[in-house]
Amino acid sequence: MSATEPPAVPPAAAGAAGPHGRLTHLDERGEARMVDVGAKPDTHRRAVASARITMRPETLAMIVEGRAPKGDVFATARIAGIMASKRTADLVPMCHPIALTHASVDLTAEEPDPTGDGLAAVRIVAVCETTGPTGVEMEALTAAAVAGLTLYDMCKAVDRGMVLGEVMLLEKEGGASGRWTREEER
């Protein structure tokens, strides 16, 4: 391939099964682009995402009892997640800047499962909403992930072994594709 010849469309783009039968963030030549949503109608959009961070039981007890050296872990993580949802377009290159009408982050302590690995966890659930031409899935995912990263940052001095994972979209509604829930895929 010469420097002036456009790259071939990647195989993943050619066979993607999106609503338009292709990856929407790639043009006909396989180059990244921001999707034009100018002609799409404004609809109410809502997305729910989650993440989970595992830790030692004593770390969770420190958080819940308010003994963390850096302060109120849940309050700080909640604020960080909400702030991150509003900055998603600054972090994820092809996201549109969105005027959110609602953003929330809830954190729930999960005690260790006696039959499991002995680790405690915090479940993070983020909800984002807007009325506009494009969805808020990335904003909800960003909120959940950054809340988890903030929780890690605030507690890393006492538990560097924490693991942030299971970042996933749980549901979305609005737009041409309507409602989707994770259970539908199973």
Which residues are marked as active site?
Answer: 153
Distances (CA, A) of 146 to 97, 125, 170, 176: 18, 11, 17, 28
Amino acid at 119: L
Rounded Cα distance, 85 and 82, in Å: 5
**Cβ(136)–Cβ(130) under 8 Å?**
yes
Alpha helices per DSSP H over 87-136: 88-91
